[in-house]
Structure 1
Amino acid sequence: MGLSGRRAALGSAVLDRFQHPAQVIVGGFGLAVLVGAGLLALPVATESGESAGPLTALFTATSAVCVTGLVVVDTGEHWSVFGEVVILLLIQAGGLGIMTLATLFAVLVSGKLGLRARLLAQAETKTLHGAGMRRVVRNVVLFSLVSEVIVAVVLSLRFAFGYGEPVGRAVYMGVFHAVSAFNNAGFGLWPDSLSRFVADPWVCLPVAAAVIVGGLGFPVVFELARSWRRPRRWSVLTRITLGTTAALLLVGTVVLASAERDNPHTLGPLSDSAKLLAGFFAAVMARTAGFNSIDISQMRPESWLFTDILMFIGGGSAGTAGGIKVTTFGLLAFVMWAELRGEDRVNVGHRRLAGPVQRQALTIALMGVGLVAVCTLVLLSMVPHSLDRVLFEVVSAFGTVGLSTGITGQLPDAGQVVIALLMFIGRIGPLTLFSALALRERTRRYELPEERPIVG
């Protein structure tokens, strides 16, 4: 066999291997978790010089790789600088891995389309060939690093000149929180997260901006960079992502600021401007970031429930955010609106949504609801905490958010295992499920007789 024949055989083998994207995603993230857990289990990773224990190391590594932020020990006090750097690298690997894998599998899915659809997609994205894919991955990495550097510079300057931190310490804290924010991880170096900066816009706004940009998703960000002056040319993905994100941020800010405005344990003591800032920050962080500038455990039940909704929806597709994604939520809203109007087609702007896309969105949403319900029931049988606190914890883990009412560290070992598995499933689940559904799409060559059962 000649050189060209061997290359062709190798390429065929690689393509055959990538026929099962779930194996690649689960294997890659699982390996990263195990390596991270092994490093965090070393005595050098803790401040005390004693091993953190396998379960604590595994839980923390899972939370970092899945960019969640739920912890069973205080990050800044329990882990040494070595341990914190390991966590930071796991967050970076998890965030970049999510975006690049999402982009790669988008191309893999497009390869299963018909010739006409593939040509249209290639003309639109210019990323369906080898050189284009290398450019996309390079741009993902550069965009992530540049965004993190900008936020890190702002935070470092604020910590150094606004709070008198030594330059080295200020830079370290700025870099750590910038990486954690852009990747929607929510790991912080203070026991109260960012509560001490609740009224400081120079800390809260850069962190919130990093969370929003990282959570929009790479395809949306770069489409905006190319054609931000021509909104009529925006794809359905960009339209839904931006519209739904803006609506959720606005509604979230109003609802949370209103519900907590006179709560003496959260927003009550703050000025009006600080209340607005804290309400906006809380709405942004519920989009899967995990930082908090107010005490989550002291929030009112109605605020917990609304935060549950925001956490479950999550952020944009092919970004660092979790949840079922705003795209899924927005698509289902358009489907429902079309049904209420009695229309047999679902249109978004000047585009018609394909039937398979609607079914995929419904499947992801319902499977998310089922997973949250089952895990909530399991945890309720293990712990003495109330339903609203347990549900909050479960939704936070599924949406890879990291917000907590304070019960994570109180969970028994079995409960921590459940939460760790839920974080892992919540991180890889939507991407794996979407890839599997799209790649299994096939055309039936016959139609069965139609019947309309009673619905409702």
Structure 2
Amino acid sequence: MAGRTGQARPRQTLRMRGREAFDWVRTRTTTSPARFAVVVFVALILIFTALLSLPAAAADGRRTALADALFTAVSTICVTGLSTVDIATHYSGFGKAIIYVGVNIGGLGVLTLASILGLVISKRLGLRAKLIAASDSNPARSHAGPMNEGQTVRLGEVGQLLVTVALSTLVIEAGLAILLYPSLLIGGVDPLTALWEAPFYAAMAFTNTGFAPNPGGIAAFANDYFFLTVLMTGVFLGSIGFPVIYTLWRHVWHVRKWSLHAKITMITTVFLFFAGAVAFTVLEYNNPKTFGALNFWDSSFQALFLSAMTRSGGFSVIDVGELHGSSLVVGSMLMFVGGGSASTAGGIKVTTLAVLALAVWSEAKGRQSVEVFGRRIPSDVQRVALSVVAWGATICALSTIIISQISQADVADVLFDVISGFATVGLSTGLTAELSDPGIYVMAVTIFMGRIGTVTLAAAVAATSRSQLYSLPVERPIVG
């Protein structure tokens, strides 16, 4: 009896500890989903670093250096596409499979992933998690006050939104893979090889990552405009964001029923897409190393493709390092803006740019409020947009200074690659592959901070929001 009792007590102790751990995780997922999401991303990066460090993951059967494995894991989970090694030749089929799984996990988004984990663990989605998930479709993703339901998905629809995220990812990637498969065969790829390269390219397009499974990347398909158009379509769908996909799915032919967020995202995205293409066409028309040797129609299409990839796509037909300095500046600006909120794209988001542009326009017109499409944008949304831009610019500036000091490379190249990392784009002048280990770690931190989002990072670091029950006297400093 004493022996059985002694055995029962350790079992009860283990059960109690397991229950305590379970309760701790459930509490974190429901009361602080933003912080929990950061922890989840860090854990995933460590797991994939260990997996990519395995000898079986490398093509030569040797263990990958820690700095390269860590950077690839960060770039994979954060769906960036930058790499210090050649993905196509360095990693084996097993390693590429790890990367394929990683980009799909990362593509779900940091807040969406946290909400799904909270739903699975706690068997329900808590109110605060619902608010976080719903506000991820809103420019004010950390909005503390009551949210205008006209600007986002209603709380009762959050579960449907999460289902839409998973289903849209599967359906869109499957459709893209089916369309890409014939082009791979025409391009000379073996049918069996194309059978896994097509889903790989589809995932890299929709998640806006930009890794290529074959040596030389998509340069072999530079003249296959159908192949490039499919990639652009995948990048566009991934960059507009899941809430916009959800809105289009429900009201594709009824624009009046679109949310304000969907309208702003679509208009700003399309405008930047064509504006970027025009800018690249004008700036590169006399560059023989890029568009100078092409006719008008070919150069126009390649400019459209390059503009689409700066939205966070990461694929490149031309050598980005051969672009004029003026084109690198335009590309940096487009990358810094990025795609839509709650999307696989990075950057400060097009809604942030639109809100600030509308605020400037309203100020110039002398209006007391910012209004668009019959709706008023509250002042707290404007403050969040301004904070996102300021925080993003600070991160990029600090990273550029540090990496420039470490590498002693041209500042223009450093700035381009840093913004590409922060905005999780994946385009590179060639600098990233030449960085030393300290520079690699700095770039990895930049990518991580850019992917989880400046607002999410601030919300995760902040202890708790305190309400202020008093108001200080007003005094206006001189501005401008």
The answer (yes or no) to whether the contact 1:18–1:24 under 8 Å persists in 2 is no
Aligned to 2:261: 237
Aligned to 1:3: none
- Tell me by how many angstroms 1:434 deviates: 7.0
- Tell me by how many angstroms 1:447 deviates: 3.2
Alignment of 1:123-134 (within 5 A): 125-126=153-154, 128-129=155-156, 132-134=157-159
Aligned to 2:348: 324
Secondary structure of the 1:71 match is: coil
CA distance in 1, matches of 2:273, 2:426: 18
Change (3 A) 1:177 1:253: same
CA distance in 2, matches of 1:220, 1:437: 28
Change (3 A) 1:219 1:312: same
The answer (yes or no) to whether the contact 1:195–1:293 under 8 Å persists in 2 is yes
Match 1:273 to one of 276, 292, 297: 297
CA distance in 1, matches of 2:329, 2:163: 40
Aligned to 1:56: 68
Secondary structure of the 2:181 match is: helix
Q: What amino acid maps onto 2:361 in structure 1?
A: W
Match 2:149 to one of 111, 116, 121: 121
Aligned to 1:390: 414
The alignment status of 1:404 with 2:428, answered yes or no, reads yes
CA offset digits 1:35-69 (Å, max 9, x no partner): 11111111111111111111111110110000000
Alignment of 1:315-394 (within 5 A): 315-394=339-418
CA offset digits 1:157-190 (Å, max 9, x no partner): 1111x22322111122111111011000111124
Give the percent of matched residue pairs that are identical in Structure 1 and Structure 2. 37
CA distance in 1, matches of 2:28, 2:111: 23
Change (3 A) 1:187 1:87: same
CA distance in 1, matches of 2:352, 2:268: 10
Runs of 5+ in structure 1 lacking a partner?
Answer: 1-9
TM-score calculated relative to the size of structure 2: 0.86
CA distance in 2, matches of 1:137, 1:32: 20
CA offset digits 1:74-103 (Å, max 9, x no partner): 111111000011011110110024472487
Aligned to 2:238: 214
CA distance in 2, matches of 1:64, 1:94: 7
CA distance in 1, matches of 2:473, 2:373: 33
Secondary structure of the 2:223 match is: coil
Change (3 A) 1:395 1:12: closer
- Tell me by how many angstroms 1:143 deviates: 0.5
CA distance in 2, matches of 1:16, 1:218: 24
CA distance in 2, matches of 1:37, 1:294: 30
CA offset digits 1:260-289 (Å, max 9, x no partner): 122111112223222111100100100111
Tell me how many residue pairs correspond in the alignment: 442
Match 1:186 to one of 210, 213, 217: 210
Aligned to 1:200: 224
Aligned to 1:4: none
Q: What amino acid maps onto 1:205 in structure 2?
A: T
The answer (yes or no) to whether the contact 1:102–1:318 under 8 Å persists in 2 is no
The alignment status of 1:144 with 2:169, answered yes or no, reads yes
The answer (yes or no) to whether the contact 1:198–1:274 under 8 Å persists in 2 is no
- Tell me by how many angstroms 1:199 deviates: 2.6
Secondary structure of the 2:312 match is: coil
After superposing the two structures, state which structure 1 stretch, 288-297 or 98-107, moved more.
98-107
Match 1:94 to one of 106, 119, 133: 106
Q: What amino acid maps onto 1:40 in structure 2?
A: L
After superposing the two structures, state which structure 1 stretch, 49-58 or 98-107, moved more.
98-107
RMSD: 2.7
Aligned to 2:81: 69
The alignment status of 1:415 with 2:439, answered yes or no, reads yes
CA distance in 2, matches of 1:417, 1:185: 19
TM-score calculated relative to the size of structure 1: 0.90
Q: What amino acid maps onto 1:20 in structure 2?
A: S
Secondary structure of the 2:253 match is: coil
The answer (yes or no) to whether the contact 1:360–1:437 under 8 Å persists in 2 is no
Change (3 A) 1:205 1:99: farther
Change (3 A) 1:80 1:253: same
Secondary structure of the 1:352 match is: strand
